A and B are shown apart, each in its own frame.
Chain A
Amino acid sequence: MSVPPIPISAGEGPFDPSVRWFQHAVFYEVLIRGFFDSNNDGTGDLKGLREKLDYIEWLGIDCIWMLPFYPSPFRDSGYDISDFFNVHPDYGSIGDLVAFLEDAHSRGIRVIADLVMNHTSDQHPWFVESRSSRDNAKADWYVWNDDDQRWPDARVVFTDTERSNWTWDDNRQQYYWHRFFHHQPDLNYDNPEVADTMIDLVRFWLDLGFDGFRLDAVPYLYQRDGTAGEHLPETHAFIKRIRKQLEADYPGRILLAEANGWPSDVADYFGDGDECHLCFHFPLMPRLFMAVRREQRYPITEILAQTPVINDACQWAIFLRNHDELTLEMVTDEDRDYLIAEYAKDPRMKRHMGIGRRLAPLLDNDRGMTELLYALLLSLPGSPVIYYGDELMMGDNIYLGDRDSVRTPMQWSPDRNGGFSKADFAQLYLPPLMDPVYGFSAVNVEAQLRNQGSFLHWLRRMLTERRALPVMGVGEMEVLPCANPSVLAYMRSGEVADILTTTPSSHANPHAIIDVELDGRDWERTLVMARTVPAGNEGPGDEVVRRFQAVLCVHNLSRFAQPAELSLAKWAGTTPHEVLGRVPFPNVTEEPYTITLPPYGFLWFDLVDEDRRSTE
């Protein structure tokens, strides 16, 4: 895909706002309270997160997605907000937040915040006031009704704990509407004051330096009779309104929609390029797990076939796991039963309409399978989102309530509390993992840094290699026919720009080698990645050479070795160079190209036009 040149505008901030950075960025989802505790009170905080920026930079992350950091009674891990315009004192202050943002930006790392627009905590002063009577200033800020019969088609999301979307309030003697927990009343967006306040909220955090937002639960903002209360036109109109703010005053900042639906429905959240920049591709995720379990590519290829082509200026966000349950809403009943039977054999692993397990336990800690899934994540169309701790193959604790099973402290070292905090064990917000397989003694950053063969090093290498292949982010995707159903092969291709020289204002700095000190050692973070960018993303004044890049990605979904015969006649005359080892493979001809793959193996090939290379 050729990205058309984007007009450069004089934006503020450390980044070039003209660059569609999000289309080939790697995101890292961080739970602040679980990342690092700098003041040893048992809870992670912003200063702690800032202290670990060396690590995040070393890993090769482009953007941090921070889970909610607002004041909250923590009945839903901070998604129940009691003050939108502040930072929870456990995490620090707004000053700490600004310092963190500045530090992240100085390292070339962007930061987006979780924006929970749909609801508040029932402890929020707005709700406290609203429920106090029917005629106060905030009376109409929430959705109230005399009975609980309205909108019966709206499904209950948290089926484990909630029986209805309505809850009776004794104070006001009315029901209030909540699509999530009963202690999270929904805001009333039909009230212009609410909508305007949310716009103010957006501007507030963008002014402080955030690079955008993940719009939590955005499909549910509005309700209308005769509908299921999701994906309504009014919701899209509101998102457009937010987007206009960004375009006018905050270029280069992004909106990422959390809309769990079929790709054709979710694609509506891109609008005509005037709504969200990114949307999560929820249905793809469970199908990756189905595919490796069934050892067949069909679950993946079928959902890809159903995924519509999106606007050139937009991007899917793809992921393996996140802070929530592995949601199974977007699969058939039979497939849901199958996945639960396969991946949640203990009933305690089930959460609402999904499975509350981290990536490594879902895959039985199988390194090969984990590498395969990451290879898919990093090569399928979309910007990958990595959940904190999954880069270590961290485990989970299914005996913790709700989704806390996957929100245990980050494991930094084999020391006390996994190096997360020096607080007493009993003070910790959640206990760290201590079992012999996933416990912090066995799985931690320090140990994996020391072991060059660790998964952590492997993933870092993969992120580095991916940067030199911009087509993985923004290229065309062509699934290649293969008679072996256990093999998934596709071509990623498109126009890229090799940057030869740069100007001081360029975001790309191909000659910089940054030294990063981590764990007492110096690591080179060579910005090889900046030498090749998607065509159109070069900086003003950069001297570039544009060329066509084609990367063949072949994956074996089976636990047995598999052959694959691929028809690559379209690329006849090129030489496949395996990406990790740079070993040239036999030339591509008009005849079928045979590749053999080990169990759960994958190969990425950069198809090099040797004739062209030899004349350069």
Chain B
Amino acid sequence: MNLEREQTLRTLIEVWLSHRPVDEWHQKAPTEISLRRAEVLLPGRPGLLDLVADVNGRMAHLVVGMRSVGDEPHFLRAGDDVSLGLLEDDDGLAVCTDALRDAQLAPLALALLRRAAPRPGPVAVLRDDEHATVLDCGDRGDLWVFPWLSDRPHPAVDFLEALDGAGFNHVAAPLVRWTWEGRDLGFVQEPLADRSGGWALAMTSLRDLYSSGGRPEAAGGDFGPEAHALGTMTARMHLALDRAFDRRPASVSGWVDSAEAAIADADPELLAVPGMADLTKSLRSGDLHLPVIRTHGDFQLSRTSRTDQGWVVSDCLPGGVVPGMTAPNSRSPLADLADLLWSLHQASLEAAIERDPAGRLDLAPLGQAWETRNRRAVLNGYLNTPGIAGLTGPDRTVVRNLVAVFELVRSLRTT
């Protein structure tokens, strides 16, 4: 590759970086960009070019779309900045864009990965952050592209393949794994064309309740039966993870110690809340050990979807890497459950703020009633799944107390 071309590609990457949140690439001057890969995925116009570059010590990955001059990009979202610059190649001058923000070019990338003929169809952005860009391409599948790469296989892809391999039916199977030099660039997942997001369903239920009042089970779109099914699916996920990865015993006291340390770090006054001491004391008694397994790591409503076939885990990120860690680690499956219950609380709060920003309508009792019903439903669904007691232990009091501690720790996280 000649120097001029390399400089042009670095410029494209610089522009791409300028569109991304600065924290992602530790913005500092000078920005050191070292090109590692420039692969033509699709020659001609429109064309696709896959770039990987070392940026200030992190490995950036972008898919560049190349259009003829005068050819309009198909913006996926209004306000998106897709233009990256100009590039001259054997086919002439190209206008370069971020292909993952272009409704025509993104499906081309998916079709190439699937080795299928490209087909027109809808594209929707499911996720677009520092962890992944995920595009719903209808019945063609979901395209996942990682903007930042690590030196090893992506834990979310391993996680997804492990679940699928363990016979877990509540996940969209991976169809194609896109790799380069042992790193995951992205993957394609089987389509879930009729999905409704777990968060959206919960919010719909809450909006109905806040609008109509009354009992949660009487409001339209009652979430209770879905919450129960969600709990069951979560338990099955953990049983599948137990089959797919190793489990080991861990001390419950150790978990309590870690939780107290986290609480003390964030808000020491919480440790003095009535009942807290008794809770931690009861968990420390008896030298209890329970299994730790690879968990989801960030299991919440927005990581799930409801389809006509049932609930699915639609987003496997972070694949078991809990916040603060860089690699997957094992923890109690009840931590995932606590994360899910916490997201129910988040949903009730957010729906209340949406409906009553000034806080005049006193929606708290309704929100609490909704939470109580659905928390109970999730727990019933989870704990009544055959086999789960092998991971949680048979003592329901211990389970409840552990979930409470984990949920408290989760509440301290700001993300």
A294 at the interface (CB under 8 A from B): yes
Provide the residues of chain A in CB contact with B46, threshold 8 Å. Answer: none
Q: In the complex, how many angstroms separate the beta carbon of B348 from the nearest chain A beta carbon?
A: 18
CB B99 to nearest CB in A, in angstroms, measures 21
Partner of A302, one of B220, B222, B310: B310
Complex Cα spacing A315 to B15, Å? 63
Complex contact B308–A298 (CB within 8 A):
yes
A296, CB-defined interface residue at 8 Å: yes
Interface string of A356-388 (1 = CB under 8 A from B): 000000000000000000000000000000000
* Residues of B214-232 contacting chain A, CB below 8 A: 217-218, 220-222, 224-226, 228
Among A294, A482, A483, A484, which residue has its beta carbon within 8 angstroms of that of B225? Answer: A294
Please name all residues of chain B whose beta carbon is closer than 8 Å to the beta carbon of A341 when the two chains form the complex.
217
**Complex: how many Å from CA A558 to CA B205?**
12
Of the four ranges (under 10, 10 to 19, 20 to 34, 35 or more), the interface on chain A belongs to 20 to 34
Q: Which residue from chain B places its CB closest to the CB of A488 in the assembled complex?
A: B308
Q: How far is the CA of A483 from the CA of B306 in the complex (A)?
A: 9
A contact residues around B139 at 8 Å (CB): 481, 567
Asked if B194 and A481 make an inter-chain contact with CB atoms under 8 angstroms apart, the answer reads yes
In-complex Cβ contact of B122 among A298, A334, A592 (8 A) = A592
Find out whether the CB atom of B121 lies under 8 angstroms from the CB atom of A294. Answer: no
> Does B266 touch A at the CB level, under 8 Å?
no
Measured between alpha carbons, how far is A483 from B193 in the docked complex, in Å?
7
Interface string of A292-309 (1 = CB under 8 A from B): 011111100110010000
Interface string of A276-300 (1 = CB under 8 A from B): 0000000000000000011111100
How far is B218's CA from A296's CA once the two chains are assembled, in angstroms?
A: 14
Cβ 8 A contact of B308, one of A297, A338, A342, A567: A297
Q: A338-B224, A338-B225 are in contact. Are A485 and B218 (CB under 8 A)?
A: no
B120, B226, B308: the one contacting A479 at CB < 8 Å is: B308
Residues from chain B with a CB closer than 8 A to the CB of A567 are: 121-122, 138-139, 193
Q: Counting CB contacts under 8 A, is B195 at the interface?
A: yes
Q: How far apart are A130's CB and chain B's nearest CB, in angstroms?
A: 46
User: B310 — which chain A residues lie within 8 A by C-beta?
Assistant: 302
B201 within 8 A of A: yes
Is B372 in the interface zone, CB < 8 Å from A?
no
Return the CB mask of B103-142 against A: 1 if under 8 Å, else 0.
0000000000000000011100000000000000011000
B8 at the interface (CB under 8 A from A): no
Q: CB distance B220 to A558 under 8 Å? A: yes
Q: Nearest Cβ distance between residue B74 and chain A, in whole angstroms?
A: 13
- Is B121 in contact with A569, judged by CB distance below 8 angstroms? yes
B309 interfacial contact with A, CB 8 Å: yes
Interface centre among B122, B138, B308 (most CB of A within 10 A): B308
**A334 CA to B221 CA, complexed, in Å:** 16
Size of interface on B: residues with Cβ below 8 Å to A? 25
Are B201 and A485 interface neighbours, CB within 8 A?
yes
Question: B-facing mask of A467-486, CB < 8 A → 1, else 0?
Answer: 00000000000010111111
Q: A169 an interface residue at 8 Å Cβ cutoff?
A: no
Is A485's CB under 8 angstroms from B138's CB? no
Contact, CB under 8 Å: A294 / B194: no
A334 touches B228 (CB 8 A): yes
User: Which listed residue (B194, B204, B309) contacts A483, Cβ 8 A?
Assistant: B194
Q: Does B196 contact A (CB under 8 A)?
A: yes
- Chain B residue numbers with a CB within 8 Å of A560 are 220
Docked-complex contact B196 and A301, CB < 8 angstroms? no
**Within residues 483 to 505 of chain A, which ones have a CB less than 8 A from any CB in chain B?**
483-486
A478 to chain B, nearest CB (A): 12
Which of B121, B193, B218, B221 has the most chain A CB atoms inside 10 A of its CB?
A: B221
Residue of chain B at shortest CB distance from A480: B194
- Min CB distance A375 to B, Å, is 19
Residues from 116 to 171 in B contacting A, C-beta threshold 8 Å = 120-122, 138-139
Is A294 within 8 A of B222, CB to CB?
yes
Contacts of B228 in A (CB 8 A): 334
Interface centre among A295, A484, A565, A591 (most CB of B within 10 A): A295
Q: Is the pair A482, B222 in contact by a Cβ cutoff of 8 Å?
A: no
Evaluate contact between B220 and A342: CB separation under 8 angstroms: no
Interface of chain B residues 274 through 325 with chain A (CB within 8 A): 306, 308-310
Residues of B within 8 A of A592 (CB): 122
- Interface 0/1 of A68-88, CB less than 8 Å to B: 000000000000000000000
Nearest-Cβ distance from residue A291 to partner chain B, whole angstroms = 11
The reply to whether the CB of A335 lies closer than 8 angstroms to some CB of chain B is: yes
Question: How close is A297's CB to chain B, nearest CB, in angstroms?
Answer: 7
Could you tell me the distance between the alpha carbons of A302 and B121 in the complex, rounded to whole angstroms? Answer: 27
Contacts of A482 in B (CB 8 A): 194
Contact with A along B80-99 (1 / 0, CB 8 A): 00000000000000000000
Across-interface contacts of A486 in B (CB, < 8 A)? 221
Residues of B within 8 A of A565 (CB): 122
State how many angstroms separate the Cβ of A205 from the closest Cβ of chain B.
43
Contact (Cβ within 8 A) B120 A590: yes
Query: In the complex, what residue of chain B is closest to A299 when comparing beta carbons?
Result: B225
B360 to chain A, nearest CB (A): 24
A172 within 8 A of B: no
B220 touching A294, Cβ below 8 Å: yes
Q: Is A460 an interface residue (CB 8 A)?
A: no
A342-B218 contact in complex given A479-B308, A485-B306, C-beta closer than 8 Å: yes
Q: Does A134 contact B (CB under 8 A)?
A: no
A597 to chain B, nearest CB (A): 15
Q: In angstroms, how far is the closest chain A Cβ from the Cβ of B379?
A: 13
- Contact assessment for A334 and B120 in the assembled complex, using a CB-CB cutoff below 8 Å: no
Judge whether A296 and B308 touch: CB under 8 Å. no
Output the nearest chain A residue to B196 by Cβ-Cβ distance: A485
Taking CB atoms, residues of chain B closer than 8 Å to A342 are 217-218
The residues of A that contact B195 with a CB separation of less than 8 Å are 483
- Chain A contacts with B in 3-41, Cβ cutoff 8 A: none
Output the least CB separation between B107 and chain A (Å): 13
Q: Which residues of B contact A298 (CB under 8 A)?
A: 226, 306, 308
Any chain B CB within 8 A of the CB of A150?
no
Contact with B along A176-211 (1 / 0, CB 8 A): 000000000000000000000000000000000000
A382 CA / B259 CA spacing, docked (Å): 57
Q: How far is the CA of A485 from the CA of B222 in the complex (A)?
A: 12
Going nearest first, the 10 A-B pairs with the smallest beta carbon separation are A481-B194, A481-B193, A301-B308, A295-B220, A485-B196, A295-B221, A592-B122, A294-B222, A590-B120, A482-B194
A-B contact pairs, 30 of them (CB 8 A): A293-B220, A293-B222, A294-B225, A297-B308, A298-B226, A298-B306, A302-B308, A302-B309, A305-B309, A334-B225, A335-B225, A338-B217, A338-B225, A341-B217, A342-B218, A479-B308, A481-B139, A481-B308, A483-B194, A483-B195, A484-B196, A485-B196, A485-B204, A485-B306, A560-B220, A567-B122, A567-B193, A590-B121, A591-B120, A592-B122
* Additional A-B contacts beyond A302-B310, A338-B222 (4; CB < 8 A): A296-B221, A484-B196, A485-B306, A486-B221
